[in-house]
Amino acid sequence: MERLYPHPAIPGLNLRTSAVFFARRMEQELTELVRTEILDTAEPLTPQSDLFAAGLDSMGIMQLLLAIEDKFGVAIDPADLSRENFSTGEKIATLVAEKQAAASR
């Protein structure tokens, strides 16, 4: 029986191994995208790093939304953003995954 893992950010949601793998990969990709293309910094970032503290500002957020749309095919309405759901690579990945799931229904 495949083991299920709890989703790191959505309580009560359990994921299959493959879904966890893809979620982790998206977190890493998003964090690296922020680090290299938005912040353009050599400072190391993890999926749990506070991106606002790392320098992500209004202009950077706009650029990031465009990059997310290009890379993951998901258009996120700026009105859906909050400091709570956009502060780390992990949280952004969760938001993107939710949007992808909603689009596929």
Rule CB under 8 A: which residues touch another protein?
Answer: 38-41, 55, 57-63, 65-66, 77-83, 86
Q: How far is the CB of 63 from another protein (least distance, A)?
A: 7
- Of residues 13 and 32, the one with the C-beta less far from another protein: 32
Q: CB neighbours (10 Å) of residue 10?
A: 12
Q: How far is the CB of 55 from another protein (least distance, A)?
A: 6
**Cα–Cα distance for residue pair 35/21, rounded to 1 Å:** 21
Cα angle 86, 6, 12 (rounded to 5 degrees) comes to 80
Q: How far is the CB of 86 from another protein (least distance, A)?
A: 6
- Of residues 20 and 63, the one with the C-beta less far from another protein: 63
